[in-house]
Amino acid sequence: MIEGFTALTLLLVVVAWNLRHLGIEVVVAVVLAVIAEPAVRALKRLGMRRSMAVPVVFVTILALVALLIFVLSQPLYSAGAKLINELPNLVAQAQSKKGQLSDLIHRLGLTQYIDASLSKLATLAGSAAKPAYVAAKGVVSTVATLATIFVLAIFVALEAPELIKAVLGQLSPAISRRISLMLSETSTAVAGYVAGNVFTSLIAGIVIGLTLGLLGVPFAFVLAVWVAFVDLVPLVGGLLAGVPTVIVAFLHSPLAGLVSLVVFLIYQQIENHLLSPLIMSKTVKLNPLWILLAVLVGGQLAGVTGALIGIPIASALQVVSRNLWRWREETKQPNSLEDLELNTPQCGGDDIGDHEED
């Protein structure tokens, strides 16, 4: 049994590797369907049929995303355009030989490094204004991909339970019940992880946004959205979000840069040692090494998308492997009269027979 399961796993890994570029949308759709499953089950408990519950959940998700885009698009566009226009001036001020920021850079011996970094930043800002058709092409491609994932997720949420039910119907009641519980636990773990990750990322964006706003740092809203989005990436998200944010704060003033750096460091400690363990303890408990491997493997296979879905997939695999191991251990224990008889010495059986005759 174990050998067959291992061979099947290796076969699935090989197939997934060869289809990784074509199948990433399917994987994301399955993860999205699993995330939505607890909400679908909640509506079913209220008496709604699955054929209605699934569209209600996904339409609600779509409405929330559309509302978020509507609320954030105009401020982000305005602030982003302003940042691109003013970035050359900020770079010139940082490269000048006057001002507190320049004095601080010289005292720390960072002049050469800062000059090289700011030159690259200015070049990047200059290339940010892409031709309209290039930007439109990227937007259309992204929208098409997201629409494909969304439709696939709806079909998975609608059809997968019936397919699973048909497969389980071919198995014994005990095995069917165990697999059903395992799938339910997997769905709850994945959904809980995603909800917890989104919650901590929102807190990060709010904390940094308020800090930058109180310090008078320009583009605080854009930077807060940036932090909230990038913080979704496990482990390295805080670092990736913090570096450009602190740089912009330093460009505003050394005091703002130092304060924002301290706030970032303190918040990361609170998130890593208090918020995340508190939230994740009720969903998944992954070893930090497995988290790192999941992020690295997911990022290597599918970039940022892979890094984002790597841990949910790892948590699902952990639930499955834990249940399979528990199942294997339980099958080793004598759980029936037949097992006891097979494991009882013959002399014991004769003694029992003698006692019965007595």
pLDDT digits (tens, 9 = 90+) for 203-228: 999 999 999 999 988 878 888 888 88
Specify the pLDDT at position 6: 62
CA dihedral 147, 151, 157, 160 (to 10 degrees): -130
Q: What is the pTM of this model?
A: 0.62
pLDDT for 273-305, tens place per residue? 777 766 666 666 666 677 777 777 877 777 767
CA separation, residue 337 to residues 253, 331, 334, 349, 350 (Å): 79, 14, 8, 13, 17
pLDDT in tens, 76-102: 677 667 666 666 666 566 555 555 555
Predicted confidence band of residue 166 (pLDDT cuts 50, 70, 90): confident
DSSP string of 152-208, one letter each residue: HHHHHHHHHHHHHHHHHTTS-HHHHHHHHHHHHHHHHHHHHHHHHHHHHHHHHHHHH
Cβ neighbors of 203 (< 8 A, separation 6 or more) are 271, 275
